[in-house]
Amino acid sequence: MAKSTGPLLKKCRSLGIDPAFLGYSKKSKKNPKVNRRKVSEYGLQLKEKQKTKFVYGVLEKQFRKYFEMASNKKGVTGENLLQILESRLDNVVFRLGFANTRAQARQFVNHGQFEVNGKKVNIPSYLVKVGDVITIKENKKDNATLKLNIEENSGRVIPKWLEMDAKKLSGKVVKLASREDIDIPIEEHLIVELYSK
């Protein structure tokens, strides 16, 4: 899968994202540039889409697929889209504190370090459902990086829609994420407007 390999902080600055939302504690020493040019409505919508894709590490083709899924679901399309993105296995692994960043979570999942309901899943875009139990594979429970991540992230707030069992090294999807559960500053209505043109 293609991925962005450019400077992370530079990309965060250009999209107006705090690196903390990606799991990075780095702070940019540069002052954010004030863009004096008036941004068009289309420019704002496009930037919001790019920001969302960048945060969740999703490429255009897959993002458009998620948007179509969100449009076909009952409810508000923008909120449905965010719910689908939050339901990705790599995001759930990150939210549970097993990984420090979504990129690291994606790598762990790719390497088959997690099981969903007792079955190995190595597809980061796998969408979890209510009741799914995500566990570290038995033979990976001694992985030093995973252990360190869990220790370092023990103070991280686990979203209400997930339940963490630190002793069993597992997490459960209690319900699907609602808009209030998503702390990333995304104006999803702009993405809906962009795709609705």
CATH code of the domain containing 139 = 3.10.290.10
Q: Which two tokens stand for residue 71?
A: 């449009």
Establish if 162 belongs to a structural domain: yes
Give the single-character DSSP code of 130. Answer: T
92 and 171 inside one domain = yes
42 and 81 inside one domain = yes
pLDDT at 28: 47
Residue 20's CATH number: 1.10.1050.10
Q: Could you give the 3-state DSSP secondary structure of residue 177?
A: coil
Q: How far is the C-alpha of 50 from the C-alpha of 59, rounded, in Å?
A: 9
140 and 189 inside one domain = no
76 and 93 inside one domain = no
**Is the Cβ–Cβ distance between 84 and 69 less than 8 Å?**
yes
Taking only the tens of pLDDT, the chain with its 197 residues reads: 455 556 666 666 766 666 665 566 655 455 544 555 687 899 999 999 999 999 999 999 999 999 999 999 999 999 999 999 999 999 999 999 999 999 999 999 999 999 999 999 999 999 999 999 999 999 888 889 988 998 998 888 899 999 999 888 899 999 999 999 998 899 999 999 999 87
79 and 113 inside one domain = no
pLDDT at 14: 64
Establish if 19 belongs to a structural domain: yes
Show the domain range for 102: 88-175
Q: Which two tokens stand for residue 86?
A: 């939050």
Establish if 120 belongs to a structural domain: yes
Q: How many domains does the chain have?
A: 2
Q: How far is the C-alpha of 145 from the C-alpha of 149, rounded, in Å?
A: 6
pLDDT at 6: 60
93 and 167 inside one domain = yes
Establish if 159 belongs to a structural domain: yes
56 and 21 inside one domain = yes
Establish if 130 belongs to a structural domain: yes
147 and 130 inside one domain = yes
Q: How many residues does the chain have?
A: 197
81 and 97 inside one domain = no
Establish if 3 belongs to a structural domain: no
**Is the Cβ–Cβ distance between 128 and 87 less than 8 Å?**
yes
pTM comes to 0.81
Establish if 2 belongs to a structural domain: no
13 and 70 inside one domain = yes
169 and 92 inside one domain = yes
pLDDT at 154: 86
81 and 132 inside one domain = no
- Helix, strand, coil content of the chain in percent (nearest 5): 45, 10, 45
